[in-house]
């Protein structure tokens, strides 16, 4: 038996549609089987509430007198993009305040607008014959602007890679704070109640699908950026003026920046048995991976495979140890959305739409085209290592014989203990008194790993104003030396 | 129980904690401390059952003692129950119950690490 969206809408209007949440649907299918469940249930509501950085709002501020063609514009000191028409601008949620930095950003401005607050609008321009004004400062509220259309290039991630950290320092990331030595795991997404997981082939969620977007009626306007099934994403829009602050939250991930928690709910019509089967999906069927954010590269190593049931259990095993897990999305608010949407449909206030066009079920997510990725080990040279307690005389001989400027000092296990430069030796000889390199070496040595990108090494050389970096492994064993000359050669080659 | 100890320029030089441990035969756990040349502050944990006599002894050494009752405070008007704080807390103060993130305040050792982790600043350590 097949149902159409029209038939379901008729039932909704008559008040006879059976609407259940994604949570309830799992049990219904378990009890009745997919065939009966498909007959019984008309709509399943889903929900998610998480930080979605790829979001923002298009504003049209109306024209001032005399008019201005904005060249730069700020809302509460957060810059918006106005490289479009005179008084149109796009405010992205992650843009941070020019005045106070990461504490306040685009997301906060948007939340302030929705909460009815006044926002300072500041603009500058070069002035033209048709738009003579060059400066503008005023206060506006959401009511004052012509349009405030939220348009989010990438929302509602179907699933997301979880995060952990193998390094020995605390990492502050968009996946929250990651404790050293696999101290914790964080994950995003709501798993089995999340919209796209309940329609994994995007049969009913497509361009034109009406959705719940932060309390307003919004629409799916296409596949999201980086859409890469089963890590699907959606591009969505909705009217900011109709949104409810309860379903959006500006947030700050310390050390990373600003983002906006966005609430999305999508109703899924149960057209046939297949849709009943899809909406019965369980957390244990939804797989993802835990990635190691301790490696600062695009290709972050996979620590292990994991499913959402394990993630939601509160701890997962890594290398034989129980590691605690933090969700980052709010399941509580996601559920609220799911129930709110159910209620709206039951009351006949929210009708379903059929997509006018499908979004791709297959798609590739390409990495950025970059010149060439050069890592430290491609450029480093062999290091002339000396043992602890080498005499100053022997060290100076080595420097002259080998024509080098840096000598890493190592212990019996070849582990880095310090470094001496030709300058240190020259100074020691001039001053006298010092016997062995132990007395003059620098012990707090700045090092790099062989897999570090060369740009990263170059930054370190500049930041610490040094001319060479010993290359070490995780046990501090010296593998080579990277000098600023090695890097200059690369630049010359690229030039 | 936790105590906040304030040392002045004289008491900061005395080994008050060791004296208390030896004299009273009790264990004292130092939670946090900042000790300078002329003054110092410590947050310590002591045996609840013997709190009164231990406090009396420390005070007799000229140290100003304040009992700390306050633990981490979570503002439930602001908290959105995301759970980012859960895996961060070393003593598992935060738990999900009925989809809500609840704090078992009593266990908190005031380390402060969760404060910088909450994306909406719902957490605070009340000052003493
Ligand atoms: S202050 Fe420390 S112990 Fe207390 S709740 Fe926060 S993380 Fe846990
Ligand atoms: S991190 Fe903040 S908002 Fe999230 S559950 Fe903890 S206290 Fe609440």
Beta strand A287-292 pairing with A162-164: parallel
Pairing of strands A43-45, A19-21: parallel
Give the mean pLDDT of A121-125.
96
pLDDT at B48: 83
Residue B47 scores a pLDDT above 70: yes
- What was the pLDDT predicted at A375? 87
Residue B49: pLDDT band with limits 50, 70, 90: confident
Total H helices, total E strands in chain A: 11, 31
Which of B81, B87, B116 lies nearest to residue A186, judging by beta carbons?
A: B87
Q: Are A181 and A253 in contact (CB under 8 A)?
A: no
Q: Are residues A182 and A271 in the same domain?
A: yes
Ligand 1: does its nearest atom lie under 6 Å from the Cβ of B43?
A: no
List Cβ neighbours of A379 (8 Å cut-off, separation of 6 or more): A454, A482, A486, A487, A489, A490
Residue B15 has pLDDT above 60, yes or no: yes
Reported as a pLDDT band with limits 50, 70 and 90, residue B89 is very high
Q: Examine the domain organization and report whether A285 and A408 are in the same domain.
A: no
Q: What is the pLDDT of residue B35?
A: 85
- 3-state SS, residue B59: helix
Domain boundary among A145, A172, A203: A145
Q: Is the pTM of this model over 0.80?
A: no
Cα B94 to ligand 1 centre (Å): 9
Average of pLDDT values for A118-131? 95
- Name the closest residue on chain B to residue A50, using Cα atoms: B82
Q: How far is the CA of A323 from the centre of ligand 1 (A)?
A: 18
Q: How far is the CA of A178 from the centre of ligand 2 (A)?
A: 15
The fold for domain B71-128 equals Alpha-Beta Plaits (3.30.70)
The residue-averaged pLDDT of A267-290 equals 96
Domain of A190 in residue numbering reads as 5-52+151-346
Q: What is the structure's pLDDT at B32?
A: 85
Q: Does pLDDT of A10 surpass 80?
A: yes
Report yes or no: A467 and A445 within 8 Å, Cβ to Cβ: no
A399: which residues sit within 8 A by CB, 6+ positions away?
A: A405, A407, A422, A425
pLDDT at A453: 87
Rounded Cα distance between A342 and A18, Å, is 10
| Mean pLDDT of all residues in A183-187 | 96
Predicted pLDDT of residue A372 = 67
Q: Give residue B128's pLDDT band: very low, low, confident or very high (50, 70, 90).
A: low
Which residues, in sequence order, are CB contacts of B33 under 8 Å at separation 6+?
B40, B41, B42, B43
Q: Is B117 in the pocket of ligand 1 (CB under 6 A)?
A: no
A106/A160 same-domain check: no
Domain count, chain A: 3
Percent of chain A with pLDDT over 90: 78
Handedness of CA A267, A24, A273, A193 (dihedral sign): positive
B114 touches A: beta carbon within 8 Å: no
Report the residue among B75, B112, B126 best suited for mutation to probe ligand 1: largest number of ligand atoms under 8 A from its CB: B112
Atom 2 (ligand 2): residue with closest C-alpha?
B118
Is the residue at A360 inside a domain?
no
Count how many residues are written for chain A: 495
pLDDT of residue A494: 58
pLDDT in tens, A244-259: 999 999 999 988 999 9
Flag whether A393 is in a domain: yes
Instruction: Based on the residue annotation, tell me whether A130 is a catalytic residue of this protein.
Output: yes
pLDDT > 90? residue A374: no
What are the tokens at B29?
């756990």
Give me the interface pTM, i.e. the ipTM.
0.73
Shared-domain flag, residues A93 and A34: no
Query: Are A286 and A382 part of one and the same domain?
Result: no
A130-183, pLDDT tens digit by residue? 999 999 999 999 999 999 999 999 999 988 999 999 998 999 998 999 999 999
Which of A270, A268, A277, A199 is closest to A34 using CA atoms?
Answer: A277
Q: What is the arithmetic mean of pLDDT over B10-16?
A: 89
Does this chain's domain B2-67 share its CATH topology with B71-128? yes
**Distance set, CA B84 to CA A175, A189, A253, A416, B88 (Å):** 9, 13, 10, 38, 8
| Residue A19 counted as domain residue | yes
**SS3 call for B56:** helix
User: Is residue A481 one of the residues assigned to a domain?
Assistant: yes
In 3D space, the residue among A374, A425, A432, A438 whose CA is nearest the CA of residue A399 turns out to be: A425
Distances (CA, A) of B117 to A45, A174, A425, B84, B128: 31, 11, 47, 7, 22
Candidates A83, A205, A102; CA nearest to A155 is: A205
Whether residue A156 sits in one domain with residue A110 = no
Please check whether residue B17 touches A, CB under 8 A.
no
Q: What is the residue extent of each domain of chain B?
A: 2-67, 71-128
Helices A331-346 and A22-40 cross at an angle (nearest 10°) of 30
State residue A495's pLDDT score.
Answer: 46
Q: If pLDDT is split at 50, 70 and 90, which confidence band does A371 have? A: low
CB contact under 8 A, B119 and A325: no
Query: Of A177, A331, A335, which has the smallest distance from its Cβ to B117's Cβ?
Result: A177
Residue carrying the six token digits 């992205």: A92
Of B81, B85, B87, the CB nearest to A330: B81
Mean pLDDT of A276-302: 91
More confident residue, A264 or A488: A264
| Same domain assignment for residues A112 and A175 | no
Last residue of a domain, one of A145, A180, A208: A145
User: Which of B:35-54 have CB within 8 Å of A?
Assistant: none
Judged against a pLDDT cut of 90, whether residue A297 lies above it is answered with no
Is the CB of residue B109 below 6 angstroms from any atom belonging to ligand 1?
yes
Q: Are residues A196 and A338 in the same domain?
A: yes
How large is the average pLDDT for residues B24-36? 89
What is the distance between the alpha carbons of residues A472 and B64, in angstroms, rounded to a whole number?
50
Q: Are residues A211 and A135 in the same domain?
A: no
**pLDDT at position A39:** 96
Residue A49 is predicted with a pLDDT of 97
Which residue is closest in CA terms to ligand 1's atom 4? B108
A381-395 confidence digits (pLDDT tens): 889 999 999 999 999
Any ligand 2 atom below 6 A from CB of B114: no
Q: Which residue has the higher pLDDT, A187 or A297?
A: A187
Q: pLDDT tier at A434 (50, 70, 90 boundaries)?
A: confident
Ligand 2, atom 4: closest residue by C-alpha: B82
B101 C-beta closer than 6 A to ligand 2? yes
How far is Cα A198 from Cα A264, in angstroms, rounded to an integer? 14
Mutate to test the interface with A, among B74, B75, B82, B120 (most CBs of A within 10 A): B82
Domain end residue (candidates: A346, A365, A385): A346
Q: Are residues A24 and A82 in the same domain?
A: no
More confident residue, A46 or A428: A46
Minimum mean pLDDT among A104-113, A308-317, A401-410: which range? Answer: A401-410
Q: Looking at domain B2-67, does it have CATH number 3.30.70.260?
A: yes
**Average pLDDT over chain A, rounded to whole?**
93
A77 plus A44 within the same structural domain = no
- State the catalytic residue, choosing from A53, A130, A214, A251: A130
Asked whether the beta carbons of residue B119 and residue A51 sit closer than 8 angstroms, the reply is yes
**Tens digit of each residue's pLDDT (9 = 90 or more) over A24-83:** 999 999 999 999 999 999 999 999 999 999 999 999 999 999 999 999 999 999 999 999
Residue A429 lies in a domain: yes
Short-list A444, A340, A432, A361, CA closest to A393: A432
pLDDT for position B75: 93
Domain assignment present for A302: yes
């Amino acid at each position: 038996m097949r149902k159409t969206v029209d038939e379901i809408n008729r039932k909704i209007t008559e008040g006879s549609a059976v609407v259940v949440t994604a949570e309830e649907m799992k049990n219904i299918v378990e009890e009745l089987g997919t065939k009966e469940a498909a007959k019984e249930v008309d709509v399943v509501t889903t929900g998610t509430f998480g930080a979605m950085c790829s979001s923002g709002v298009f504003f049209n501020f109306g024209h001032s007198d005399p008019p201005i063609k904005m060249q730069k514009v700020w809302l509460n000191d957060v810059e918006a993009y106005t490289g479009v028409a005179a008084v149109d601008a796009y405010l992205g949620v992650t843009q941070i305040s020019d005045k106070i930095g990461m504490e306040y950003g685009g997301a906060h401005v948007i939340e302030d607008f929705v909460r009815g607050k006044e926002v300072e609008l500041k603009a500058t321009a070069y002035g033209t014959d048709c738009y003579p004004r060059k400066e503008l400062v005023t206060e506006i509220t959401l009511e004052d602007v012509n349009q405030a259309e939220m348009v989010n290039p990438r929302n509602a991630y179907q699933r997301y890679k979880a995060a952990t950290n193998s390094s020995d320092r605390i990492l502050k990331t968009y996946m929250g704070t990651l404790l050293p030595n696999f101290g914790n795991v964080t994950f995003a997404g709501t798993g089995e109640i999340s919209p796209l997981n309940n329609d994994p082939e995007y049969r009913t969620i497509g361009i034109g699908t009406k959705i719940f977007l932060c309390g307003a009626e919004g629409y799916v306007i296409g596949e999201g950026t980086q859409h890469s099934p089963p890590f699907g994403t959606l591009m969505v829009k909705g009217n900011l003026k109709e949104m409810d602050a309860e379903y959006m939250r500006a947030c700050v991930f310390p050390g990373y920046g600003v983002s906006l928690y966005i609430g999305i709910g999508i109703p899924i019509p149960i057209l046939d048995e297949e849709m009943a089967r899809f909406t019965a999906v369980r957390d244990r069927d939804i797989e993802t991976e835990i990635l190691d954010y301790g490696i600062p590269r695009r290709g972050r190593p996979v620590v292990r495979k994991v499913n959402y049931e394990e993630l939601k259990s509160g701890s997962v095993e890594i290398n034989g140890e129980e590691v605690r897990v933090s969700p980052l999305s709010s399941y509580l608010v996601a559920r609220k959305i799911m129930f709110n949407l159910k209620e709206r449909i039951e009351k006949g206030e929210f009708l379903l739409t059929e997509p006018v066009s499908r979004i791709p079920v297959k798609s590739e997510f390409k990495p950025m085209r970059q010149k060439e990725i050069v890592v430290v080990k491609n450029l480093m040279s062999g290091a002339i290592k000396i043992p602890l307690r080498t005499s100053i005389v022997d060290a100076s001989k080595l420097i002259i014989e080998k024509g080098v400027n840096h000598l890493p000092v190592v212990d019996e296990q070849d582990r880095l203990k310090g470094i001496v430069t030709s300058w240190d030796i020259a100074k020691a000889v001039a001053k006298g008194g010092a016997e062995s390199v132990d007395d003059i070496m620098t012990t707090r040595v700045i090092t790099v790993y062989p897999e570090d990108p060369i740009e990263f090494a170059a930054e370190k050389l500049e930041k610490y104003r040094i001319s060479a970096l010993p290359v070490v492994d995780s046990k501090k064993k010296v593998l080579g030396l990277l000098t600023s000359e090695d890097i200059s050669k690369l630049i010359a080659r690229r030039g | 129980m936790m105590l906040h100890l304030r040392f002045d320029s004289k008491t900061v030089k005395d080994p008050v904690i060791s004296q208390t441990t030896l004299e009273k035969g009790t264990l004292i756990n130092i939670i946090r401390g900042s000790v300078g040349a002329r003054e110092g502050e410590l947050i310590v944990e002591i045996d609840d059952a013997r709190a009164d006599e231990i406090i009396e002894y420390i005070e007799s050494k000229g140290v100003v003692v304040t009992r700390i009752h306050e633990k981490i405070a979570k503002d439930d008007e602001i908290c959105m129950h995301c759970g980012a704080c859960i895996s961060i807390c070393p003593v598992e103060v935060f738990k999900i119950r009925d989809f809500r993130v609840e704090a078992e305040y009593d266990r908190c050792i005031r380390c402060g690490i969760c404060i910088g982790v909450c994306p909406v600043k719902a957490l605070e350590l009340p000052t003493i």
